[in-house]
Structure 1
Amino acid sequence: MRLVLLLLTLCLALPAQAEGFITRLLNQPVPGGVAVLDLGSAASAPSATYQDKPVLVIHEDATRWIAIVGIPLTVAPGPQRIAVQTGDGTQSLSFQVARKHYVEQRITLKNKQQVNPNAANLKRIERELAEQIRAYRTFSPRQPSNLLLDKPVNGPLSSPFGLRRFFNGEERNPHSGLDFAATRGTPIKAPAAGKVILLGDYFFNGKTVFVDHGQGLISMFCHLSQIDVTLGDELPRGGMLGKVGATGRATGPHLHWNISLNDARVDPAIFIGAFQP
């Protein structure tokens, strides 16, 4: 009888033991979240796509591959699928997206152009948006140096990801990143090693830096007072890239940090162990 109970206990414990650290850290399959999917064992890395975009694939342990999938905020709760390509062909792998409620944020801006831009500013915004979308869609073969990311600044979290935002009473796009309260001039460090792929001074984002960490994992930092890197720079983990400011559409000094996976903006709190279900 004792042997039976011991075997039953071991069997019940197996799923928890089989789930690796990265899965436990990142698997938050909600709109604006991340799904971690087991791709099995293979001699070489399989490839995967979600919504026709390539997905980050890494080793969870010595034998098992996993796909780390960014889920756009626009995805409705329910079943989703990725396509997985191996030496044996292509197969479909399903996962379930759960519900998540995001609260509202109401902001008053003195500069009316930052709420309802004129025709000239709209052209500028469209041009800048296209440039940034190209950067978000970068997919380099490099492996990310780490997936438990460092906070880019030492400061409390202020505005969370996913807020439904109303500027002067008018609803605009949800908050696509995580804000840190920090004083002007606070140094900003790279949360993982990466390459600087875009710099700009944009209408909404102000002074901005994009860093490619590898395989579609992209960081964007904006509202900077100062940029301390140049295009093409290779940053080590913890490398300084600029300083906190309030440029662009900002009511005061803070850092806005975006994380993008397979061209989906996802909650950076997931990657620093601060996600709130």
Structure 2
Amino acid sequence: MKLLFKITLFFTLAISGTAFAFPQSNPVPGGIVLLPLDNNHIASTARFNKRKLAVVSDDKAKYLLIGLSLNTKPGKHYIEIRNNQGKTEKLGFDVKSKTYKAQYLTIKNKRKVNPYEKDMERILSEKKRKAKAKKIWTTDPTKADFTVPVDGRISSIFGLRRFFNEQARRPHSGLDIAAPQGTPIKAVESGTIIESGDFFFSGNMVYLDHGQGLISLYAHMHTITVKPGDKIEKGQIIGTVGETGRVTGPHLHLAIIANRTTVDPLQFLPQLSEKAAEYYKSE
């Protein structure tokens, strides 16, 4: 009950202060930190764990957007940034602890849990493509006023410790929204398509670059209607919901990447506060 209250309160605060879906700081493993910038600092020099950081802004200020991995330890952390005098400074922030629950799923296609030996060459090749996409960095100004990509029920949340057919696998790296196959998928924000295709585990998948290392990923799609290099507007249809790859039913798997780190998409979508609360009630 306390967990539900905190989550509901967080999303209530997130949507009360702005009519837009501006991301909200949640300094926990898998969350994000918005660190205010002052005029004394050169934003383009900011680094966290040697990785460049995006700058986002609302009507009040500019912020460094820091993505925290699920492996981030609670406690004090620092970014490095240069000031106008050319000196490097360290700015600190605190990370709180968070425990993610376990989720047990039964996958009918056992090959998607334990791939055949002949599948491994494909899987390793796709792993390199995914890593390359996550490293994309463009200097274009980035926007983080995200729109909900598809209307549906939240069926799984970020960070869950996952077990497929009782076998431990990596934690869930995104937000799952269940919807009928063929439901249109909208781009959460404007950007450029940097990768797309049929992946062994993720099925039909698209990477959309929003600038400065902020990237959205759409997986398990039925159809893809865009291709790498396409310029996309916020809300534009990029494909449809499907059940390709390793799935238990039709849904969109949405992932958000910041400074090459996969983070909780709900931090960028406060519009889903009610549906998130419904999900926690059903657990």
Could you state the TM-score of these two structures normalised by the residue count of structure 1? 0.87
Residue correspondence of structure 1 range 139-158 to structure 2 within 5 A: 139-145=137-143, 147-158=144-155
Contact persistence 1:45–1:58 (CA under 8 A): no
Partner of 1:17: none
Q: Take 1:232 and 1:111, find their aligned partners in 2: how far apart are those partners?
A: 33
Partner of 1:8: none
What one-letter code is carried by the residue in structure 2 that aligns with 1:258? Answer: A
Structure 1 residue runs of 4 or more that deviate by more than 6 Å after TM superposition: none
What one-letter code is carried by the residue in structure 1 that aligns with 2:206? Answer: V
Q: Take 2:258 and 2:252, find their aligned partners in 1: how far apart are those partners?
A: 20
Q: CA RMSD in A?
A: 2.2
Selected match of 1:167 from 164, 167, 186:
164
**Secondary structure in 1 matching 2:158:** coil
Selected match of 1:98 from 96, 106, 112:
96
Contact persistence 1:46–1:86 (CA under 8 A): no
Partner of 1:29: 27
Residue correspondence of structure 1 range 230-249 to structure 2 within 5 A: 230-249=227-246
Contact persistence 1:155–1:180 (CA under 8 A): yes
Contact persistence 1:259–1:265 (CA under 8 A): yes
| TM-fit CA distance, 1:197 | 0.4
- Structure 1: stretches of 5+ with no match in the other structure: 1-19
What one-letter code is carried by the residue in structure 1 that aligns with 2:226? Answer: V
- Structure 2: stretches of 5+ with no match in the other structure: 1-16
> Is residue 108 of structure 2 the alignment partner of residue 110 of structure 1?
yes
**Secondary structure in 1 matching 2:156:** coil
Q: Take 1:233 and 1:23, find their aligned partners in 2: how far apart are those partners?
A: 24
- 1:45 and 1:76, CA in 2 relative to 1: closer, same or farther beyond 3 A? closer
Residue correspondence of structure 1 range 61-76 to structure 2 within 5 A: 61=59, 64-76=61-73
Larger RCO (CA under 8 A, 6+ residues apart): 2
Residue correspondence of structure 1 range 1-277 to structure 2 within 5 A: 25-42=23-40, 45-61=43-59, 64-88=61-85, 89-145=87-143, 147-273=144-270, 274=273
What one-letter code is carried by the residue in structure 1 that aligns with 2:170? Answer: N
Q: Take 1:33 and 1:44, find their aligned partners in 2: how far apart are those partners?
A: 24
| TM-fit CA distance, 1:47 | 2.7
| TM-fit CA distance, 1:120 | 2.1
Higher Rg of the two aligned structures: 1
Could you state the TM-score of these two structures normalised by the residue count of structure 2? 0.85
Deviations 1:176-223 (A, max 9, x none): 000001000000000100100001100000000000011111000010
Q: Take 2:262 and 2:215, find their aligned partners in 1: how far apart are those partners?
A: 9
Length, aligned pairs only: 257
